[in-house]
A and B are shown apart, each in its own frame.
Chain A
Amino acid sequence: MDFSLSPDQILFRDSIDRFFTETFAGEAGRDAASDWKSLAEMGLTAAPFPESLGGTGANAIDLMFVANGIGRTLAKTPFIAGVILAGSLLRDCAAAPAARALIEALASGSTRLAFAQMHSGSVTRAGSGVTISGEARIVLGGATADMFVVASPDRDLLIIVDGGGPGLRRLPFGTLDNRDAADLVFENVAAAAEAIPVRGAEARRIIESALRAARAAWCAEACGAMRAALDLTLEYARTRKQFGRPIGSFQALQHRFVDMRIAVDLSDTLTRVATMAVDEASPQEAERLVAAAAVQVAAASRLIAEEAIQIHGGMGMTDECSAGKYAKRLMALTCLLGSEDEALERFLQSA
């Protein structure tokens, strides 16, 4: 195993760090459209695609740095669901013309995508195409997406659906960490055969692979958020005085900070392992290592979120304090990754 970064990777990482600091730090007032424009100008909406498809050919490690930046700056953009997850789906069935056309639109920044997993209902054959009826819940970026990549309930079909088409109803909501999402209701939504880029076992394989890439990226987003929350809380402990000295001088707090730092380092390291596995390992081994990272990240996220609030005291409970904002982002990411127990179950299944 080798954790050293090439000079190119270091350059890329540093430019991504600068980009997020300049574009997303102090996120007040930004909207989804201008976020997307910034990401497209940086070339990031084209990141997961090879150059032959008009992309920049970023690998999983490059995307990890992007996800770190999202977490660190609490950027609200649904980049991981819209580009890493939905983009990987399209990339893996790019032989289909509909997927190819959508890749171009996504890469150029002109179209925003979301992935919608149906939780109930059915997809029935209608001529050469299909008719979709049912629900897809918790669609990240679903309130602002132009197009949806829809997975049928048992994942044997991937269907491209226009966000403005007849029969599709959006029920937008703001997530726990104040990001855009929606539930979708499909009422006899018609899709032509050309809008189905992949079917059957191949569809399932592609969906699982894209979800793995997304989970690895959510782990990386959590690592960025954890590191920032820890730094913030350390700074508070160095400056906040009680009993005539900084609270960070008390051993009871010092030892808790050491545990936090260890938890973040372990999470970040295992996330790197999982991210390398997404690119390099067999699907089964990648599944195992991504699940391992998710277990570690879920446990650490809870620790950092709770300790950041606790150590900030009453201030940590207020809405204006960043500790709570990081805590909510970390809670949200833990929901996406599946709890520590759920991820452990995936680890056991894939061992």
Chain B
Amino acid sequence: MRLTLNQDELDFRAMVDAWVQRNLPDDLREMVRVGEHLTRKEFSRWCRILDANGWSVPAWPTEYGGTGWSPLRRHLFEEQLLLSGAPRNTAAGIAMLGPILIAFGTQEQKDRYLPPIRRGETYWAQGFSEPGSGSDLATLRTSAVRDGAHFVVNGHKIWTSYAQSSEMMFALVRTNPDAKPQSGISFLLIDMASPGVKVRPIRMVDGGTDLNEVFLDDVRVPVENLIGEVDRGWDYAKHLLGFERTGIAGVAATKQQFARLKRLMEARSVSDALRRKAARAEIDLLAMDALILRTLTENPASRPGPEASMLKIQGTRVRQNVQRLLMELAGVEGLRHAEDPGEAVDRDLQWLAANYLDSRKVSIYGGTNEIQANVVAKAVLGL
């Protein structure tokens, strides 16, 4: 048991921080500082900068450009990037498709798709949810029917992040309508330039348009774009659930936002009531941070488990609370709207309302907190 990081870990963080200070472009830093909306353009740009230093895909195996760091070291790295003011680097290609390809893809698929993801050249959309299949994802109905050397895909995906600017989409599709829901699903890679793919952006409550509907109308997908075996896609997707058991709590992003709250509080006169609420939030964050580090260090050999769902539930609560406090701090300045920012005298506050609204998603995506609670009740508590 040790309260603080050891010297090696402290040196590592200092090294990462110094690197970010040298390599993060000023315009990106400013966008992150004020909470401005980032798009694929900025994310890919930052990914390329990281890649030039061998840091864009730290969790991947070293043969595909990963770092070989322990989960604890990766955690420290990802946290330090954000604390140093950098954007996140959690594109779906890096965080989701990469691990699946590495675990279940053919050598040819890995060689073809992994390097351009690592270099920030190709962007991937995740095609899982459908209008009728959200929490109950296994009921998804987008169909893929084998026709010679192709699958013919028909259906309708929704909440597809960055589909309008992605070259590719990985999707769950139904290949066997007669099997049990989970057993008839396959994992396909779909070229977004294929005939029959139509993308319609969805305007979100914060004014953002990252999410889309994707309509698939007789889209022909080569059979070599199937991952693993047909009808086994659900198992492959589940592989992701425990992959980054600690990242899902989003503690690094919350720390970044809490630092922003403290910075803004210092520059303004704020009520004692807000100060007390911020102190309470700080304790929640301390506890959450310690719980993540406990998960990483108490028994480093243990496999990811359903306990990760508790980290997600609590992590998103803490995150949303900090965003709520930022909104309280804004007071009447909260009236500013990111969609029509104008030429504000003080750019610090103009994105707070949009950031607050956007933060409501974290308890919804990646499995709603209610679904996570169901998982914990069953698999952890034995109810």
- How distant is the Cα of A248 from the Cα of B377 in the complex, in angstroms? 9
Q: Which residues of A contact B283 (CB under 8 A)?
A: 270, 292, 295-296, 344, 347
Chain A: CB-nearest residue to B372: A258
Interface residue A28 (Cβ < 8 Å from any Cβ of B): no
> When the two chains form their complex, are residues A257 and B1 in contact, meaning their CB atoms are under 8 A apart?
no
Q: Which residues of A contact B376 (CB under 8 A)?
A: 258, 261
Q: Which residues of B contact A61 (CB under 8 A)?
A: 1
- How distant is the Cα of A86 from the Cα of B283 in the complex, in angstroms? 29
Q: A266-B314, A269-B290 are in contact. Are A248 and B4 (CB under 8 A)?
A: no
Contact of A238 among B5, B313, B383 (CB under 8 A): B383
> When the two chains form their complex, are residues B279 and A3 in contact, meaning their CB atoms are under 8 A apart?
no
Q: A3-B297, A254-B373 are in contact. Are A234 and B287 (CB under 8 A)?
A: no
Which A residues between 88 and 110 are near B, CB-CB below 8 angstroms? Answer: none
Contact of B294 among A248, A249, A272 (CB under 8 A): A272
Contact of B2 among A266, A276, A292 (CB under 8 A): A276
Interface residue A44 (Cβ < 8 Å from any Cβ of B): no
Q: In the complex, given contacts A1-B297, A258-B377, A272-B1, what are 15 additional A-B residue pairs having Cβ atoms less than 8 angstroms apart?
A: A3-B1, A238-B383, A249-B383, A257-B377, A258-B381, A261-B376, A270-B286, A270-B287, A272-B294, A277-B3, A289-B286, A292-B283, A295-B283, A296-B287, A344-B279
Q: Which residues of B contact A351 (CB under 8 A)?
A: 279
Contact of A280 among B2, B279, B286 (CB under 8 A): B2
Q: Which residues of B contact A296 (CB under 8 A)?
A: 283-284, 287
Interface residue B179 (Cβ < 8 Å from any Cβ of A): no
Q: Which residues of B contact A270 (CB under 8 A)?
A: 283, 286-287, 290
Which B residues between 278 and 324 are near A, CB-CB below 8 angstroms? Answer: 279-280, 282-284, 286-288, 290-291, 293-294, 297-300, 310, 313-314
Q: Which residues of A contact B373 (CB under 8 A)?
A: 254-255, 258
> When the two chains form their complex, are residues A295 and B280 in contact, meaning their CB atoms are under 8 A apart?
yes
Q: Which residues of B contact A234 (CB under 8 A)?
A: 381-383
> When the two chains form their complex, are residues B299 and A4 in contact, meaning their CB atoms are under 8 A apart?
yes
B binding-site residues for A, Cβ under 8 Å: 1-6, 275-276, 279-280, 282-284, 286-288, 290-291, 293-294, 297-300, 310, 313-314, 370, 373-374, 376-377, 380-383
Chain B: CB-nearest residue to A279: B3
Interface residue A22 (Cβ < 8 Å from any Cβ of B): no
- How distant is the Cα of A234 from the Cα of B376 in the complex, in angstroms? 13
> When the two chains form their complex, are residues B3 and A1 in contact, meaning their CB atoms are under 8 A apart?
yes
Interface residue A281 (Cβ < 8 Å from any Cβ of B): yes
Q: Which residues of B contact A9 (CB under 8 A)?
A: 1
> When the two chains form their complex, are residues B297 and A2 in contact, meaning their CB atoms are under 8 A apart?
yes
Interface residue A251 (Cβ < 8 Å from any Cβ of B): yes
Chain B: CB-nearest residue to A277: B3
Among the interface residues B1, B288, B297, B374, which one has the most CB atoms of the partner chain A within 10 A?
A: B1
**Cβ contacts A to B, 30 pairs, < 8 Å:** A1-B3, A5-B1, A234-B382, A238-B382, A249-B383, A253-B383, A254-B377, A254-B381, A255-B373, A255-B377, A257-B381, A258-B373, A258-B377, A258-B381, A261-B310, A261-B376, A266-B284, A266-B287, A269-B287, A269-B291, A269-B294, A270-B290, A273-B286, A273-B290, A276-B1, A292-B287, A296-B287, A344-B276, A344-B283, A348-B275
Q: Which residues of B contact A4 (CB under 8 A)?
A: 1, 297-300
Chain B: CB-nearest residue to A265: B291
- Taking the closest CB of chain B, its distance from the CB of A245, in whole angstroms, is 11
Among the interface residues A269, A272, A348, A351, which one has the most CB atoms of the partner chain B within 10 A?
A: A269
Instruction: Report the contact-size class of chain A (Cβ under 8 Å from the partner).
Output: 35 or more
- Taking the closest CB of chain A, its distance from the CB of B283, in whole angstroms, is 5
Q: A1-B297, A3-B298 are in contact. Are A272 and B290 (CB under 8 A)?
A: yes
Q: Which residues of B contact A273 (CB under 8 A)?
A: 3, 286, 290
Q: A234-B382, A238-B383, A347-B283 are in contact. Are A258 and B298 (CB under 8 A)?
A: no
> When the two chains form their complex, are residues A248 and B2 in contact, meaning their CB atoms are under 8 A apart?
no
- How distant is the Cα of A25 from the Cα of B89 in the complex, in angstroms? 52
- How distant is the Cα of A254 from the Cα of B370 in the complex, in angstroms? 10
Interface string of A312-351 (1 = CB under 8 A from B): 0000000000000000000000000000000010011001
- Taking the closest CB of chain B, its distance from the CB of A346, in whole angstroms, is 10
Q: Which residues of A contact B290 (CB under 8 A)?
A: 1, 269-270, 272-273
Interface residue A84 (Cβ < 8 Å from any Cβ of B): no
Interface residue A176 (Cβ < 8 Å from any Cβ of B): no
Interface residue A191 (Cβ < 8 Å from any Cβ of B): no
Q: Which residues of A contact B1 (CB under 8 A)?
A: 2-5, 9, 61, 272, 276
Interface residue A237 (Cβ < 8 Å from any Cβ of B): yes
Interface residue A201 (Cβ < 8 Å from any Cβ of B): no
- How distant is the Cα of A9 from the Cα of B2 in the complex, in angstroms? 13
- How distant is the Cα of A249 from the Cα of B381 in the complex, in angstroms? 11
> When the two chains form their complex, are residues A251 and B374 in contact, meaning their CB atoms are under 8 A apart?
yes
